[in-house]
Amino acid sequence: MQRQAAAMKSQAPAAEAPPPEAPGKTTVRLFAGFAGFGAASVNLAVSSSLFAAAGTGRPWLTSLALAAALWGATLLAWTVAALRNGNFPLPRTSAAALRAAAGVHVLAIVTGASGDRAGLSLSHLAALLLTLVIIAAKAWLGRQPSGDGDGGAEDDGGRPAPGGTGTARLLAAAFAGALAVAAIATPGLAASTAGQFAVPHGSHSGDATGHHGP
């Protein structure tokens, strides 16, 4: 009996391993994660600008500053969870929230393109571009056969299978993604109130009254 059981077990088909994920999917997901970090940072910078403006006789901006801070913190936590778990948490809810955030950024750009809010509009533009990158990445992943990104309730998020992408390719994608996001986020951060206080260290060297002056 034991021999027959062993023979039947040996004849049973082995469980098929999940197919490796296409390198493009892992790259797009990683790029979306970098864009999420950048968008969260810029939104927090926008919040700092609104808080500063609220302290100059415009207290009604405090509620907008709180909303920007809350959205930036939420987006940051969502991005961390997405990179940690290999999928996008709350795909439907996050898709709707990202589209709403993009609309708010567009409205802020249109209504504040002139005057003392021009710099803030640049921050909103950077946040808008990064938000659109996340939306586009989620939409692309959602059209893939594995149902990544914006799937329904049964969406497994398209967790990368082992061996799907080589280490060298992931490092190259991380480097390219970091450069692209930095190129978009840096001007937006610099245009905010927090960015204006972050004066480049070397700019004080030639100023006699600066930090490094005599």
pLDDT tens digit sequence for 96-109: 999 999 999 999 88
Q: How confident is the model at residue 165 (pLDDT cuts 50, 70, 90)?
A: very low
Q: Do you know the residue count of the chain?
A: 214
Burial class (CB in 10 A: 0-12, 13-18, 19+), 176: middle
What digits encode the pLDDT tens for the residues 64-87? 889 999 999 999 999 999 988 888
Interatomic CA distance for residues 129 and 122, integer angstroms = 11
Residue reference for tokens 């001007």: 187
Task: Evaluate the CA torsion angle 150, 151, 157, 160 in order and state its sign.
Answer: negative
How is residue 113 annotated by DSSP? S
Highest mean pLDDT among 26-35, 63-72, 139-148: 63-72
Check pLDDT > 90 for residue 93.
yes
Average pLDDT, the chain: 75
Query: What's the pLDDT at 177?
Result: 84
The rounded radius of gyration (Å) of the Cα atoms in the chain is: 23
Query: What's the pLDDT at 207?
Result: 47
Rounded to two decimals, the pTM is 0.72
Between residues 196 and 192, the one the model is more confident about: 192
Check pLDDT > 60 for residue 31.
yes
Nearest Cα to Cα of residue 76 among 102, 43, 40, 29? 40
Query: What's the pLDDT at 15?
Result: 43
